[in-house]
Amino acid sequence: MPVAASVDEMLDGATDRTPLVDGAGKSGATLERVTIDGDRYVVKYLAMADDWTMRAAGVLGGATLELWRRGLFARLPDCIDQPIVAVAHEPATRARGAVTAVLMRDVGRWLVPVTDATIPLDQHLRFLDHMAAMHAAFWGGGDDISVVPPMHRYLELSPWIAAAEAARGTPPLVPRLVGEGWEQLAGVAPAAAAVVLPLAWDPAPLVDALETTPQTFVHGNWKLDNLGTDAEDRTVVLDWELPGRGAALSDLAWYLAINCRRLPQSKAATIDAYRAALERHGIETGPWWDAQLGLALLGALVQFGWEKALGGYDDELMWWEARAQEGARYIG
């Protein structure tokens, strides 16, 4: 797909340019609402100097730019409403780093509200079905879908990123909380810490084990703040910051971990619903399911052990601790 050579070229004719400051994002990226030919759009500006998630992903220009260049957005199934319509990239100069700007249709009215409320069951099941449809569409994909390496996805919320961001000066909120949570985990849940802390520092054994199971294209951040339902019941999907080749169940495990307080089903029922959806979309799950599920759930605590620790040793952390201990047996 063509990439505009500058932001000015991409936004030629834009009017009513207004900064957006009330979004749910915590990455450091900046947003702007614009009007072009009477239609409303949102521009997202991605720069490593501003966005700690870009620094963690390690993809120059951002993963969204790579997806656009490779035409991967055009290969998404019809049930996914991907609102990006143009991308611009300005290479780094001596005065500043590279900047990627992403022009998106304004889909704000369709997004899941940023509250603590449980989402409707039918919407939850639709999210799972459309996730499964995306995974099925790219099942067995190779280098063409390799964007952010799996190792980087497991390092994004690691003690390493907390230390790296702290070394830059005043760290953003999330990396600061990541550091605090990992420091607390051993005291809050020593059994969980014994399993996941070594992998949080070095996810290689987990990544290698997952690589022995089927791979597909994953979004990497299937959280409710990035999702919505449009007028045609398609799933709106935003913020492609960690996409690439990986284990399908890593998307499901992330969804369970980050959205845990708002899901209308139990984790077990959610897992069953996704499995049924994947089979419905033509993927046989019998031979590999148990191993990948065990590893993916372990991986979710490798990513979110810090966050669960900040909440104390409650039923949520207890559930993930048990899953991590079960999943560890699939490593090696």
Same domain, 101 and 159: no
**pLDDT per residue over 119-142, tens digit each?**
999 999 999 999 999 999 999 999
* 134 inside domain: yes
Q: What tokens appear for 304 in the block?
A: 């979110």
Same domain, 186 and 318: yes
Torsion on CA atoms 182, 188, 190, 195, rounded to nearest 10: -40
Query: What pLDDT score does 96 carry?
Result: 67
Same domain, 309 and 186: yes
Q: What is the CATH number of the domain that holds 306?
A: 3.90.1200
* 1 inside domain: no
* 269 inside domain: yes
Q: What is the CATH number of the domain that holds 103?
A: 3.30.200
Q: Where are the alpha helices (DSSP H) in the chain?
A: 7-10, 52-57, 63-70, 121-137, 150-155, 159-167, 173-188, 190-201, 204-211, 248-258, 267-280, 289-310, 315-327
Give the 3-state DSSP-derived string for 84-135, with helices as H, strands as E and coil as C.
EEEEEEECCCCCCCCEEEEEEECCHHHECCCCCCCCCHHHHHHHHHHHHHHH
Residue 213 above 60 pLDDT? yes
* 147 inside domain: yes
Query: What pLDDT score does 25 carry?
Result: 61
**pLDDT per residue over 265-308, tens digit each?**
999 999 999 999 999 999 999 999 999 999 999 999 999 999 99
Number of structural domains in the chain: 2
Q: Three-state SS for 63?
A: helix
Which phi and psi angles does 86 have, rounded to 5°?
-160, 155
Do 191 and 325 contact (CB within 8 A), yes or no?
A: yes
Same domain, 266 and 315: yes
Question: Which of 110, 135, 163 finishes a domain?
Answer: 110
> Could you tell me the pLDDT band of residue 322, with boundaries at 50, 70 and 90?
very high
**pLDDT per residue over 225-257, tens digit each?**
999 999 999 999 999 999 999 999 999 999 999
Same domain, 46 and 95: yes
| CA distance readout (Å), 313 to 187, 200, 230, 272 | 10, 19, 38, 26
Same domain, 134 and 242: yes
Same domain, 248 and 305: yes
CA–CA dist 5, 12 (Å, integer):
12
Same domain, 289 and 263: yes
CA–CA dist 97, 61 (Å, integer):
9
Of 295, 57, 312, 300, nearest to 181 (Cα)?
A: 312
Residue 136 belongs to domain spanning = 121-330
Question: Which of 110, 130, 149 finishes a domain?
Answer: 110
Residue 206 above 80 pLDDT? yes
Same domain, 84 and 150: no
